[in-house]
Amino acid sequence: MTAHNQKPPRISSWIFRFLLGRKRSFFLDGDFIEIYNEIYSQEGKVQALKWYWAQLFVTIPPLIIRSIYWSMTMFGNYLKIASRIMIKSKGYSLINIVGLSVGMTCSILILLWVLDEVSFDKFHENADNLYIVGTHTKYGDREVTLPSTPTALGPALKNEYLEITEYARFANGFQQYVFSNGNLRFNEYVRCADASVLEMFSFPLLKGDAATALSAPHSVVMTERTARKYFGDSDPLGMVLRLNGQYDFTVTGILRDTPPNSSLRFDILIPLAFLEEDWDTNLNYWDNFAWETYILLGENSDREKVNQKIAGRINQEYAENNWEVFLYPYTKYHLFYLGAGGSIGTIIIFTSIALLVLGIACMNFMNLATARSCSRAKEIGLRKVVGASKHDIMKQFYSESFLLTLISLILTIVLTTVLLPEFNELTRKQLTFDFYRDPVLVLGLAGMTILTGMLSGSYPALFMSSFKILRILKGQFGFGLKGSDFRKKLVILQFCASIALIIVTVVYFRQLEFMHNKDLGFNKERLLYFRANGTIRQQFDTVKLKMLEDPNISGVTGLSSPMTTVYDSDANYDWNNKEPDIRPSVRRLCTDVDFTRVFGIDMAEGEFFSEELTNGPSNVNGQVVINEEFARIIGNDSPVGDRLTSGHNYNIIGIIKDFNFMPLYNRIGPIALYHQTEDDAHGVNRFRFMFIKIGSGGSRETIAFIEDVYHQFNPELPFEYRFLEDDFSVLYGNFERMGAIIKYFAAIAVIISCLGLFGLGFYVAERRTKEIGIRKVFGSSIPNIVFLLSREFIKYVVIANVIAWPVSWIISKAFLQNFAYRIDIGSGVFILTGLTSILIAFLTVCYQTIKAARANPIDALRYE
């Protein structure tokens, strides 16, 4: 008996429906069912199913090919229509394309920036096993986490823990030395590191042997560019350079230029051992937390376990220590610092900005597209009558938006290429836009285009496809409550984002200005300083007296550090009634009696070093001055006269007012000042720098005079000097760059929003021409009408402000948390931005509304 009512599994119907559409798949279903039934009745269910699955499997490929071909034809048709429409309304298309392009360009530039930041330090061969050593401590309510480690830590870690296979230390910052080859002399910024650094890290040597290059204490490794300065085209390997006119250094290797996406960058490397020789630095000291230590972990070592083992290593040296040692992955260092901070914050801000700007551009598109629905309504109605499904209409609008997006993409690529050099200037990077080489970039571009196209097209597509046909043809289309509501929200959102951006930008710049002008606690103006090399250091007092002969020089002093940072520190302090678990890392500064005068710092209590004290009975070697912060840590009411011990006993003779000796986003820490006669092993003072305060009558001649005196003592060395205030400007350069970028993006966001408002105003005015005409007939004046039309927009802006204010307040607060010294946000920013935004909105719609208001009412009412 033939069974006629068996149904095979339904999956085939779904697949056919998906590939072919409902109408075409209908018949195919029937064919499948018929054959299925036949086999079922002749050979039973099992055979029937076997046939079913086999046949389904074989049938699908040709159907897929067919449906692709089909879609391409339809798509071609849509594109043709889309391009016709685009050309017909050039203005509107232009606004959209420009808006989208600008949004996409911003996103790409930021994407490039982010990709670069994320790629930092990943080029090292040992990258996965490279770690930087961090230290963490608490005293009182302060927690300090820094990559500053004792000099002895590196070797200890390697020798005592199996998992740690190598270590390399870097002295902090750059040392300044003068290298000379005969008459060629240059002041160079040099980094000092252990010899192992060349093998641990991937800083390849173009010439020379990495294993031995830095083993000899007077060897130097430099980049090709640097070598060329001294040796021209001849082979620099094995040649000798003179350092500071005193030491002979042999060039043992030529470095490849350090890549820009490396946290460690240098042109010249010399061995750490030299610091021991030249500055009497103790390479095996547990109390000096100033250097960076990097270590290499063996394969298959567990970082967690190692961290547990080494955590208390520093504490082993002193019973009362409170330091925790830990390893942090080097590849994450640039992004996350040691766990909190680093450039990840900036990345998040920038990415949010990019998304915001892109979002605004998309919202623009959505608004403009839907606002045009009145003119397109008839076309849509006609299409539906001829048989287009809702689906088809949606596809049409998506293809329109994709076409516009594609054209924007081309413009974006052009814009990006053009703007990239400028952007590189701004960000001090060397970003490249080679999308034919970088697959990630291509992916990013494609993804962004698709996202933008879909996002922008989604609203008009969904909105337009749901029009009711008859209403359209009769001309009774309204916008529908749903329509205008959503669009209102979009405009508000756009302005909201722009306003928030502006407020945050203003706060950012105010903080920047604040940091610039903040009272550092000392006077940084007209302070010229230079490295006290060679003879000058040895005959410091003599040089000083000679300098003072110029009437335009009001003061001279010496310092062991350049005041933008302090090189030396000590954690081994003890005082009366000290609590056992407090061991602050205190910076040390050596100076002379003129320090307070030259820098204009007052004493809070007690006295500073002075001639009387120097010549008096109490040994000035036993005197120390501390700052208010240190006094606070000590906790004593008045520690003047108390003892302070570190190695030797010192007498606290005074408390100096807090001044900033590290970058302003750190809290002022404790510092101890010593008098110059803190000798090193050679009996010479510890001054690295001579600071000269130039009076207000000073001029270029004064500088020439200083240079003369300098050369009297150091005839062979070039005179290289700096002004302290310039150094501070450079320190904040980073923030300024970021600020400039944010400024530009905020401006762009506002422009795009205004573009959107402009286009919207146009269409709304058009829609209300009849209403305007009637109002004019009834006697309404032009200003009245303008006011009426703009009122709606102004309402949007006000609401946008109300939303934006709390959001931007939160963001600003979070941003300011990073600074120890910050501004008050205050209410001025908000009010000012609010008023400005209203003004801008008004001006934007002004043109349209005035034009509409001036139209002749007869024209408006003619057609009914």
Partner 1 sequence: MKYLTRKDELMLLAVLRLDNNAYLVSLRDLLNKSTRKKWSIGNIFVSLEKLEEFGYIQSTIGEPTAKRGGKAIKFYTVTGDGLNALKVAKSIQDEMWDGLHDVIFNN
Contact residues: partner 1, CB under 8 A: 2, 4-5, 7, 24, 26-35, 37-38, 55, 58-63, 65-66
**DSSP label at 622?**
G
Kindly tell me which of 6 and 89 has the beta carbon lying closer to partner 1. 6
* Nearest-angstrom CA–CA distance, 189 and 203: 18
Longest distance between any two alpha carbons in the chain, whole Å: 128
The dihedrals phi and psi of 34, each to the nearest 5 degrees, come to -60, -50
CB of 753 to partner 1, least distance (A): 49
Kindly tell me which of 62 and 478 has the beta carbon lying closer to partner 1. 62
Kindly tell me which of 5 and 696 has the beta carbon lying closer to partner 1. 5
Contact, 104 vs 409, CB < 8 A?
A: yes
CB of 27 to partner 1, least distance (A): 5
3-state secondary structure of 677: coil
* Nearest-angstrom CA–CA distance, 548 and 694: 10
Task: Identify the residue whose tokens are 């006295």.
Answer: 607
Kindly tell me which of 39 and 409 has the beta carbon lying closer to partner 1. 39
Q: What residues form DSSP beta bridges with 583?
A: none
CA distance to 503, 519, 803, 808, 833, per residue, from 496 (Å): 11, 36, 7, 10, 11
CB of 75 to partner 1, least distance (A): 17
CB of 57 to partner 1, least distance (A): 9
CB of 50 to partner 1, least distance (A): 14
Strands 586-591, 671-675: pairing kind: parallel
* Nearest-angstrom CA–CA distance, 527 and 754: 48
CB of 73 to partner 1, least distance (A): 10
CB of 853 to partner 1, least distance (A): 56
CB of 79 to partner 1, least distance (A): 21
Kindly tell me which of 30 and 783 has the beta carbon lying closer to partner 1. 30
CB of 48 to partner 1, least distance (A): 13
Kindly tell me which of 2 and 183 has the beta carbon lying closer to partner 1. 2
Kindly tell me which of 34 and 304 has the beta carbon lying closer to partner 1. 34
* Nearest-angstrom CA–CA distance, 609 and 591: 9
Strands 175-181, 205-207: pairing kind: unpaired
Q: What residues form DSSP beta bridges with 570?
A: 586
* Nearest-angstrom CA–CA distance, 390 and 465: 5
Kindly tell me which of 7 and 122 has the beta carbon lying closer to partner 1. 7
Contact, 757 vs 838, CB < 8 A?
A: no
CB of 5 to partner 1, least distance (A): 6
Kindly tell me which of 24 and 488 has the beta carbon lying closer to partner 1. 24
Residues with Cβ within 8 Å of 529's Cβ and at least 6 positions away in sequence, in order, are 559, 562, 563, 689, 690, 691, 692, 721, 722, 723, 724
Nearest Cα residue to 289 out of 87, 147, 185: 147
What is the secondary structure of 467-529 as a DSSP string?
--HHHHHHT----HHHHHHHHHHHHHHHHHHHHHHHHHHHHHHHHHHHHHHS--SS--TTEEE
3-state secondary structure of 715: coil
CB of 66 to partner 1, least distance (A): 5
What is the secondary structure of 149-184 as a DSSP string?
EETTHHHHHHHH-TTEEEEEEE-SS-EEEEEEETTE
The dihedrals phi and psi of 697, each to the nearest 5 degrees, come to -90, 5
Residues with Cβ within 8 Å of 364's Cβ and at least 6 positions away in sequence, in order, are 95, 96, 99, 100, 494, 752, 753, 755, 756, 759
- The count of other CB atoms within 10 Å of the CB of residue 571 is 22
Nearest Cα residue to 477 out of 378, 368, 370: 378
* Nearest-angstrom CA–CA distance, 707 and 658: 33
Tokens of 68: 């692709």
CB of 20 to partner 1, least distance (A): 9
Q: What residues form DSSP beta bridges with 528?
A: 692, 723
CB of 116 to partner 1, least distance (A): 50
Kindly tell me which of 19 and 855 has the beta carbon lying closer to partner 1. 19
Kindly tell me which of 73 and 308 has the beta carbon lying closer to partner 1. 73
Strands 164-170, 553-559: pairing kind: unpaired
CB of 382 to partner 1, least distance (A): 25
What is the secondary structure of 268-310 as a DSSP string?
EEEETHHHHHHH---TT-SS-EEEEEEEEEPTT--HHHHHHHH
CB of 788 to partner 1, least distance (A): 57
Kindly tell me which of 60 and 374 has the beta carbon lying closer to partner 1. 60
CB of 1 to partner 1, least distance (A): 13
CB of 453 to partner 1, least distance (A): 30
Kindly tell me which of 62 and 647 has the beta carbon lying closer to partner 1. 62
Kindly tell me which of 26 and 189 has the beta carbon lying closer to partner 1. 26
Nearest Cα residue to 540 out of 388, 684, 699, 732: 684
Kindly tell me which of 40 and 113 has the beta carbon lying closer to partner 1. 40
- Helical (H) or strand (E) element with 650: strand 648-656
- Helical (H) or strand (E) element with 671: strand 671-675
Kindly tell me which of 67 and 523 has the beta carbon lying closer to partner 1. 67
Q: What residues form DSSP beta bridges with 221?
A: 253, 269
CB of 69 to partner 1, least distance (A): 9
Kindly tell me which of 32 and 710 has the beta carbon lying closer to partner 1. 32
Kindly tell me which of 13 and 646 has the beta carbon lying closer to partner 1. 13
